[in-house]
Structure 1
Amino acid sequence: MREIYCLFLLLQLPQRSDGAVHSISGFFIGSQGLDLPDYMERIAVDDVTMYYYDSSMNTEVPCPEWLNTTEGQQHWKDINLISHHNKHTMTTALQSAIQQFNLTATSSDVNIYQGFSRCDLYPDGTLKAMLTHAFNGKDFITLDIDSKTYTASVPQAIVYKRQREANPVLLEITVAFYKRTCFERLKMFLQHAPRVNMKKVPEVSLFERTKAGSKVLTCHVTGFYPRDVQVEWVGAGLQFVDEEMVDVLPNGDGTYQTRRSVIRPEENPEEHKYSCVVHHSSVAGDITKTWVTDEHSRLAVWISLICVFLAIIGAGLLLRRFCKNKGAGI
């Protein structure tokens, strides 16, 4: 379970609130006491992995075939070089945190040091970047890019903060990366990476079940890409089911799924209309699917049967009239 938790920390992506924002994110993990490589690194554009490296790999990560420009290959070379520096950084930070928290450093103890970076490119050209570190799931230090200083989140991080700021050359390189280089790299991947701009339309289905005496409506949305999606129920008297608010989860084919559930009122359900509205970047407008109650279904069946019955009667009358007229020799 600990290994699964560690991988979850590495692979989990925060959901962007605006699908038009493009991001390049870095996930860096140094650990001890886990049956995993001591260091792992992942670089992703939006939610697509561009680069993965861990300390068990003996060779550099080869440049992908689709990145065949001179600039792209130089960026890839730099990524490989920086990953070895990041490995050293995570190891140093992990040992500093263990020491400052007065934790034992035996091989059986589990400690995890995480680094997370992100550069966001907005549609209007606005650029935002951040770098933060955490130890055993809690904030440790954060880089203030404008002031070129680190902020210690806990007293135990002050020693490592001073250590990072004691190297002004490395500090300038780091700040320059988050002010310029990461955005150049993001634009390069957006231009060349084949999966980044892929889009798949969501499939929406509705179903009803009884839970604790209440009628629960669920809107299941699946097969969509990219990850960002908005799902909401519309209708009078609906109550949201908080414990059934499901995060966006991956499917095996690289697409995503999620669901939203509500409790509908039981009084006069045939008088109400309940709709699930899905907004996704793969479609220009919203996808709206309306729930049809059993009462509505039965009404529709009766209407259909009446229509069929009237059609049969009408056809019989026409046939009778036709035969009568034909017998009169007209």
Structure 2
Amino acid sequence: MVSSVISFADFQYDHCIHWIYSKGFGLPEFTERRVLNDVTIFYHDSSLRSKMPCPDWLNSTAGKEHWSSIHFWSDNNKLLGNLAFQSATQQFNLTGSLSDQNIYQASGCCSLYPNGTYRAFLNSAFNGKDFLSFNINRKTIVAAVPQAVLFKNLKEGNLLDMDKAAIYYQNTCLERLNILKQAPEVLIRKVPEVRIIEQQKAGSITVTCHVTGFYPRVVQVVWLGPDLQPVDEGVTDVLPNEDGTYQTRKSVIVPEEDVGEHTYSCVVLHSSVPDNITRVWGGEKAGGMAVWISLVCICLLAAGIGLVMWWRCRTRDAVI
């Protein structure tokens, strides 16, 4: 049975920090957003007079300490963003009036997976292109372009900062993730709706598993069955719905000779259900399907003609 093989006992937690230092574009000079599984936990920008107060649900001593630390690191990231921005604009020769339309972005994330493994990274970009990345284990910075070497050397010259950054992503981020995942918004679950759509083509049938209305965003969609060929190399996007939920789809190609010979299962794994949601598709031979469709159409046509004739006779009798 499929459910005994595939399960979603837990789901991935992602705690990410996104900050932007910019000039122009109508944006504040500095913005920072901290999210947990797409839920904004903390937001601050340089146009605000104060930072977000500690929320009521974060009432533990450790939680309040982490919240104070978030305020501290937000100020630190603003200072770091200014230095990185200035270095990048100089190295790319975009100073003066040319510096009024540039943007420096950084993203740091730590992820906890259902199997207990943990991963973290810190990357930055300048004007939408890779600039720097931080090798957490080696405590070194990798320059993505020659213009980033100057800032790389500047940062690596401060060993204390390198140690602090490594400790944050190796330990602190995980501790904070375990505290912040108690946020009420993070605990919301919405069960996905699953349906199978088929589209016949010459020599094969494309079968799509459409999954929608689920929350949070993390989901796994798996097709099981023999001789399946993935569409678009099996890569699927998770897209937002207007109501704040998400949708995705996964398509496979079933060879014509296998249609009606095997059953295929779409298995959806999501944190809103303890096990999984399975939809089975068996298909039919194209010839048999065509015959049945023809018979149904003939029956509907005959019934329609009979109904019209009966109504005309009844109307004629009523007039006479």
TM range (shorter): 0.7 to 0.9
Shift of 1:221: 0.1
Aligned positions of 1:171-186 closer than 5 A: 171-186=162-177
Q: Does 1:151 align with 2:142?
A: yes
The gaps in structure 1 that reach 5 residues or longer are 1-16, 303-330
Q: Does 1:84 align with 2:82?
A: no
> Which one of the candidate residues 39, 44, 52 is aligned to 1:53?
44
Counterpart of 2:180 in 1: which secondary structure? helix
Shift of 1:204: 0.3
Shift of 1:18: 10
* 1:204–1:222 contact (8 Å) kept in structure 2: yes
Q: Which moved further from structure 2: 177-186 or 118-127?
A: 118-127
What whole-Å deviation, never above 9, does each CA across 1:164-215 have from its counterpart, x for those lacking one? 233344333333322332222112112x312333333221012234679975
Q: Does 1:170 align with 2:156?
A: no
> Which one of the candidate residues 242, 263, 268 is aligned to 1:273?
263
What whole-Å deviation, never above 9, does each CA across 1:233-292 have from its counterpart, x for those lacking one? 344554433189540112233322101223444568444534322222333433221335
TM-score (norm 2): 0.74
* 2:103–2:127 contact (8 Å) kept in structure 1: yes
Shift of 1:98: 1.5
Counterpart of 1:160 in 2: which secondary structure? helix
Aligned positions of 1:25-104 closer than 5 A: 25-104=16-95
Aligned positions of 1:88-127 closer than 5 A: 88-106=79-97, 110-121=101-112, 127=118
Q: Which moved further from structure 2: 93-102 or 64-73?
A: 64-73
Change (3 A) 1:158 1:178: same
Q: Which residue of 2 aligns with 1:325?
A: none
2:231 partner letter: V
CA–CA distance in structure 2, aligned partners of residues 69 and 155 of structure 1: 46
> Which one of the candidate residues 162, 173, 196 is aligned to 1:206?
196
Change (3 A) 1:50 1:242: same
CA–CA distance in structure 2, aligned partners of residues 84 and 93 of structure 1: 14
- Which of the pair has the greater relative contact order for Cα pairs under 8 Å at 6+ separation? 2
Counterpart of 1:282 in 2: which secondary structure? coil
What whole-Å deviation, never above 9, does each CA across 1:106-149 have from its counterpart, x for those lacking one? 36864332211122345676554332222233332222334433
Counterpart of 1:106 in 2: which secondary structure? helix
How many residues in Structure 1 have an aligned counterpart in Structure 2?
286
Q: Does 1:240 align with 2:230?
A: yes
Change (3 A) 1:247 1:298: same
Q: Which moved further from structure 2: 260-269 or 128-137?
A: 260-269
Q: Which residue of 2 aligns with 1:136?
A: 127
* 2:203–2:255 contact (8 Å) kept in structure 1: no
> Which one of the candidate residues 217, 222, 236 is aligned to 2:212?
222
CA–CA distance in structure 2, aligned partners of residues 277 and 147 of structure 1: 40
Change (3 A) 1:108 1:86: closer
1:289 partner letter: R
Aligned positions of 1:301-312 closer than 5 A: none
Q: Does 1:255 align with 2:252?
A: no
* 1:229–1:280 contact (8 Å) kept in structure 2: yes
The gaps in structure 2 that reach 5 residues or longer are 1-7, 296-320
CA–CA distance in structure 2, aligned partners of residues 119 and 37 of structure 1: 26
CA–CA distance in structure 2, aligned partners of residues 49 and 203 of structure 1: 25
CA–CA distance in structure 2, aligned partners of residues 112 and 195 of structure 1: 31
Shift of 1:39: 2.1
Change (3 A) 1:169 1:247: same
* 1:33–1:107 contact (8 Å) kept in structure 2: no
TM-score (norm 1): 0.72
Counterpart of 1:227 in 2: which secondary structure? coil
CA–CA distance in structure 2, aligned partners of residues 178 and 86 of structure 1: 15
Q: Which moved further from structure 2: 111-120 or 271-280?
A: 271-280
CA–CA distance in structure 2, aligned partners of residues 135 and 87 of structure 1: 15
Counterpart of 1:116 in 2: which secondary structure? strand
Shift of 1:297: 10
Q: Which moved further from structure 2: 19-28 or 155-164?
A: 19-28
Shift of 1:53: 1.7
Q: Which residue of 2 aligns with 1:328?
A: none
RMSD: 3.5
Counterpart of 1:172 in 2: which secondary structure? helix
> Which one of the candidate residues 3, 15, 25 is aligned to 1:24?
15
Shift of 1:32: 2.9
Shift of 1:42: 1.4
Shift of 1:97: 0.9
Counterpart of 1:82 in 2: which secondary structure? helix
CA–CA distance in structure 2, aligned partners of residues 297 and 233 of structure 1: 26
